[in-house]
Structure formats: structure tokens, C-alpha cells
Amino acid sequence: MNVSDSERISTTLAKRGYEMTEDESSADVVIFNTCSVREKAEQKLYTRVGHIRHSDRPKPVVGVMGCVAQLEGETLFKKIEGVDFVLGTQAVGRVADAISRTLAHDLPVADLGDREANYDWTVADVYRHSPYIAFLPIIEGCNKFCTYCIVPFSRGRERSLLASEIVRQVRELRRGGVREVHLIGQNVNSYKPGDDSGLEGFEGRSPFSRLLRAVAATGIERIKFTTSFPRDFNDDIVEAIETNENLCNWVHLPVQSGSSKVLAAMKRGHTIEKYLAKIDRIKSSPKDIALTTDIIVGFPGETEEDFQQTVNMVDYCGFDSAYIFKYSPRPGTPAFTLADDVSPDEKTRRFLELEAVQKRNQANGLRRYLNKVLKVLVERPASRTEGGLTGHSTCHKLINFVCTSDMIGKIVDVKITEVKSNSLFGEIV
Ligand code: SAM
Ligand code: SF4
């Protein structure tokens, strides 16, 4: 979501005559698009603004956007010396106005207001992270209030875009040469638009599975979506994937814990048995759907037995990859009032143990691709292999291979010849 926000911020600023630079030291305006899901990310902001303040060059205008801006508001001016403007998560469309006001010394500039009704979600081609892949937000905010999570506070309530608008954007992206769209949101499968426009004639129990079919019908070559919320993940989504070639075979379904007791304390809305039943359905698909997840270790009250249930669950599910996080108490969340009773050393031990189990499973799981041919969208030169290129498969695996650079932007068949811990190597066939 933050990458997508940054792409739209660049687009808005370019329209108002600003030029983007990768070189922070020559910038007249530096904007930090922040995340506050864990404390570490927040700390980074404090350090980076400090560096700018202490450097020898004339001080640029410094703006803070994203979740930290939304949560802290004007208090950021007191907390971090050198911040000139603060713009909340729904105020991104007004970034150019914030800069103008700062330059006109109309201080302090803090805008935590709502998104404009006519907000333009499009991204200019040059500011997309790839010319061939587009992120498309379909739902923003979150209503779930998992007890550890700051997102419902920083991003507000769920709001879904109309399917007719999403389909219009996908068609436009396709015409512009985009080959893969990622439908994104905190919980894409909680998608619930205000009305049915754009979904007429598409089957499915949930609006999200109907949206998947509507987007598939545009003929865009590849569609991926992330993140899915387990409680709302039903068979109709798997059925849509199975019956539409361009719906990619990858599901990101964050489990968070293998213990139903911890899941209840997290208020995730699913037990581990219910989660595993969904995994069984995904795994039984003839389409070989890759499965990834997020897990938190060291949530308050997580005992060694709870943790071992997580280890067993990871062994059972055989995730293709997993983001493992140590629990980080976030002020303002319900869990913040609980004693953070798993010590930092113990969190690290659990993290490392789980990581080792996941790595072992991952290596075993990836072997299933050896000698198989995968369809890869060629994205860019590989950073480490000379003459190498890199891209993702439909199952969202990173694939490295050697071929000429005029293949960038094309979808090619790659036969997998070598399996590494996080990526696959192959040759074009
Ligand atoms: N909406 C998605 C879901 O429900 O799974 C995830 C969104 S969240 C931004 C991404 C991940 O960050 C979560 O899945 C969770 O594993 C992790 N996370 C969120 N809050 C956390 C916290 N307080 N401490 C550690 N990890 C956290
Ligand atoms: Fe956070 Fe839970 Fe919402 Fe995901 S579903 S963003 S973890 S509150």
C-alpha cells in the first residue's frame, strides 16, 4: 500500500510541475512516506530527519506522510525538529498544496482530513515501480481491529472502490502495456462496494470473487491480489482462480499464530482448525496454488506450547514463504494494555526457531519446481548475475535466468534448473 501511495504522490506532484529525484542530497523537498506497523519503522523516521537536520547543505522542506503522520499529527512538529508538514493517509491528494503552504510560511501545515470525493487513483506510467506491473488499490482501511494492529487507527474504516472504476482502470492499464495487475488492500477479500456496478453478470458468493471474475474478463494477462483475510476467504475465490487462466496461482493468507488461544486473544476471527480447512482446499486445487503467510511470535501470553503449535502449523502448511515478525507493542492498540510478557531474548529465540523450520520447508517445497517450466514476466536485469534477468512467475516466485535484455516486459517460458532458498534459477525454453 505504501509503494502504491508513493506512486500516486509522485504522480500528483509531477502534475503540479515538480521533478522527482532519487538523490536526497539534491532535493528541495524530501517526503517520508511512513509505516507504523512495528516500532522499528517509526524509529527510522526519527533518525532520517535527524540526518537531514545535521547535514551541511541548506535544509530542504521536510514532509511526513503515511501512518506515522496520521497517528501523530501535529505532535510530530514537537517530537522531531525539522519537520515542516504532516499529511495523513487520506490527504495524499493535497501534497502539492502542503508544499506550497510551507514555502509561503503558512505554518504549521498539518492535514489529517478525508480523501477528496473525486480523488484520482491513477498513476502516471513513469512513476509506476515497473512499466509492466501495476498496483491497484481496491479497498482501503480496515474494520477488523486485530488487537495488536495499528492499521485501523492509521488508515481508517474500509472503503471499497466501485468495480466499474476498477475494471475501467485495468482496461486502461492493459491498453498502456501493463501485463500484470495486483489488486491491493489490507483485506482485499472483504471487498464490499456501495453498489453492484461493474459486477453485473459475474458469479460468486462474495463481491470479491465476482470482482476477480470481472477483472479476469478484461483479458489482462496476469492478476494477483493481496492481502486476504482468513475469515473471509471462501471456496468461491479458489473456484475463480481455478476457472480463469489469468488469475494467478498465489494466495497470501496471514495466519499470525498456530494456537487458537492466541488467535482469540488477537481477535483474528478464525480458529486454527478453520484456517487449516481453507489451506486444505487451496492445496487440493489442481492449479498448484502457492501459499504465503505472516506470523507474529511472542504475542502477550504466548506460551512455549502455543509457540510449538505455530511450529507444527508451519510444518503442516508448507508455506512457500512466510514473513515472521516479533510482536511489537503499538500504543493505542488493545494489546498495548496487556503485559508484553515474552522477553526480547525469548522472542528472538522463537523467531529463529520458526525461521529455521520455515526455511527448511521452503527449500523442500521449492524443489517441486525443479525441471518444471514456469511462465515468467521479465522485469529487470538481475543485480547479481551478469547478463542475467529477473522476474516473477504466476506463483509469485522470483526467477533468475539468462537471456537478452530485449525480453524485458515479455512473458517467457523458463525451465527451472536450480533451486535456492528464496529464488529459482532457470533457462528460457
Ligand atoms: N491485513 C493483513 C492481515 O490481516 O493479515 C496484514 C496487514 S499488516 C500491515 C502486515 C503484518 O504485519 C501483519 O500480518 C502482522 O503479521 C504484522 N504486524 C501487524 N502489527 C504488528 C505488531 N504490532 N507487531 C508485530 N507484527 C505486526
Ligand atoms: Fe491489521 Fe488485522 Fe486489519 Fe490486517 S486485518 S490490517 S492485521 S487489523
Q: What is the pLDDT of residues 275-304, one digit of tens each?
A: 999 999 999 999 999 999 999 999 999 999
Residue 155 cell numbers, joined: 488508515
Scanning 188-271, the segments in alpha helix (DSSP H) are 207-216, 235-243, 260-266
Tell me the best of 36, 37, 140, 145 to mutate to test the pocket of ligand 2, counting ligand atoms within 8 Å of each CB and taking the most: 145
Q: What local confidence, expressed as pLDDT, does residue 118 receive? A: 87
* Residue 223 Cα to ligand 2 middle (Å): 23
Q: Would you give the DSSP letter of residue 256?
A: B
Rounded distance, CA 15 to CA 13, Å?
5
Whole-angstrom CA distances from 42 to 33, 34, 102, 278, 337 are 11, 7, 23, 34, 20
Atom of ligand 1 nearest to the CA of 333: 23
- Give the pLDDT mean for 179-203: 96
* Sign, Cα dihedral of 241, 244, 245, 248: negative
Instruction: For helices 344-366 and 304-317, give the axis angle rounded to 10 degrees.
Output: 10
* Residue 37 Cα to ligand 1 middle (Å): 7
Residue 17 cell numbers, joined: 510541475
- Chain-wide mean pLDDT for the chain? 93
* Residue 190 Cα to ligand 2 middle (Å): 11
pLDDT tens digits along 116-136: 888 888 888 888 888 999 999
Closest CA to 12 of 118, 132, 109, 97: 97
Using the CB atoms, write b or e for 354-379: b if 16+ within 10 Å: bbebbeebbeebbeebeeeebbbbbb
pLDDT tens digits along 234-270: 999 999 999 999 999 999 999 999 999 999 999 999 9
Atom of ligand 2 nearest to the CA of 268: 2
Residue nearest to atom 6 of ligand 1 (CA): 186
Atom of ligand 1 nearest to the CA of 253: 5
Q: Would you give the DSSP letter of residue 388?
A: E
* Residue 328 Cα to ligand 1 middle (Å): 10
Atom of ligand 1 nearest to the CA of 148: 23
Residues in the ligand 2 pocket, defined by CB under 6 Å: 142, 144-146, 149, 151-152, 186-187, 229
Strand 61-65 relative to strand 290-297, pairing: unpaired
Coil, strand or helix: which one is 380? Answer: strand
Task: Please tell me the number of the ligand nearest to residue 158's CA.
Answer: 2
Task: Please tell me the number of the ligand nearest to residue 255's CA.
Answer: 1
pLDDT tens digits along 8-42: 999 999 988 999 998 888 899 999 998 878 787 77
Strand 388-393 relative to strand 398-402, pairing: antiparallel
* Residue 2 Cα to ligand 1 middle (Å): 14
Cβ atoms of 82 and 113 closer than 8 Å = no
Cβ atoms of 120 and 93 closer than 8 Å = yes
Tell me the best of 296, 299, 314 to mutate to test the pocket of ligand 1, counting ligand atoms within 8 Å of each CB and taking the most: 296
Coil, strand or helix: which one is 409? Answer: coil
Rounded distance, CA 179 to CA 167, Å?
14
* Residue 182 Cα to ligand 2 middle (Å): 19
pLDDT bracket for residue 306 (50, 70, 90): very high
Coil, strand or helix: which one is 393? Answer: strand
Residue nearest to atom 5 of ligand 2 (CA): 144
Residue 60 cell numbers, joined: 530542504
- Give the pLDDT mean for 303-313: 98
Whole-angstrom CA distances from 425 to 28, 97, 371, 383, 385 are 42, 47, 10, 14, 11
Rounded distance, CA 305 to CA 312, Å?
10
Asked if the model's pLDDT at residue 177 lies above 90, the reply is: yes
Asked if the model's pLDDT at residue 358 lies above 80, the reply is: yes
pLDDT tens digits along 53-99: 888 888 899 999 999 999 999 999 998 888 999 999 999 999 999 99
- Whats the size of the chain, residue-wise? 429
